[in-house]
């Protein structure tokens, strides 16, 4: 394989936003220095903020700018949520062209602008004061609640993109009570492979409390 072919392959792999490696990077947010970082990945003329980054860009930044400038009309970037077989789950992102960075991530809220390479830019933002004392678990819950609230994006033919019974684990296609759906979503979104046994133990304890509260 030539160097050019390798570069093209690497580019295509990075643009596969449901790539497990990219999803793992977005899920690895336990270090407090990453909580406020929007990671943008290039997709042609557009830049995508996936998962937690999409929440920061589409919700946190948007709401903070509305708070600062209540009389200014603002439009949040539209989130897109799809189901991907290669991660056996849903993923969500927002996107914009580079010329719209200032519109969706205004310079006044940026703490830095760090191009990682020609396919990725990291933008740490100033979090709202009320979010500063929150724990990782609470921020993760806020992100997951937003992700769950966004419906699957309709395809061009007008049908929702959703998995078949062959694509989904048996418990996911069962008649799950509405109150437990958020718990299943939280469980399926937990990045088990990148967590320590202690973190997994604490997570199970949280799930048990959530389940008991819905019984």
33-63 tens-digit pLDDT:
999 999 999 888 889 999 999 999 999 999 9
The encoded tokens of residue 165 equal 């019974």
Q: What is the mean pLDDT of the chain?
A: 79
Is pTM beyond 0.85? Reply is: no
CA-to-CA separations, 12 to 21, 46, 181, in angstroms, rounded:
13, 14, 34
Tokens linked to 178:
């509405």
Phi, psi of 121 (to 5 degrees): -130, 130
17 near 50, Cβ under 8 Å? Answer: yes
Q: Please give the average per-residue pLDDT across 91-116, as a whole number.
A: 92
Lowest mean per-residue pLDDT among 17-21, 40-44, 109-113, 198-202: 17-21
Q: What is the mean pLDDT of residues 129-156?
A: 88
């Amino acid at each position: 394989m030539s160097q050019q072919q390798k570069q093209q392959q690497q580019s295509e792999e990075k643009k596969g936003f449901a790539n497990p490696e990219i999803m793992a990077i977005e899920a690895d947010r336990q270090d407090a220095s990453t909580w406020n970082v929007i990671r943008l990945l290039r997709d042609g003329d557009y830049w995508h903020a996936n998962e937690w980054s999409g929440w920061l860009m589409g919700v946190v930044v948007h709401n903070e700018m509305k708070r600062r400038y209540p009389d200014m009309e603002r439009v949040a970037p539209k989130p897109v949520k799809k189901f991907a077989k290669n991660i056996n789950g849903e993923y969500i992102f927002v996107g914009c062209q580079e010329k719209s960075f200032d519109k969706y991530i205004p310079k006044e809220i940026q703490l830095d602008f760090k191009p990682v390479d020609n396919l990725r830019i990291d933008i740490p933002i100033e979090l709202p004061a009320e979010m500063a004392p929150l724990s990782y678990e609470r921020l993760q819950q806020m992100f997951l609640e937003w992700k769950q609230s966004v419906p699957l994006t309709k395809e061009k033919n007008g049908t929702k993109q959703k998995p078949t019974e062959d694509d989904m684990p048996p418990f996911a296609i069962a008649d799950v009570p509405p109150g437990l759906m958020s718990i299943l979503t939280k469980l399926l979104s937990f990045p088990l492979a990148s967590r320590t046994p202690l973190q997994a133990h604490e997570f199970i304890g949280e799930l048990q409390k959530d389940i008991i509260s819905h019984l």
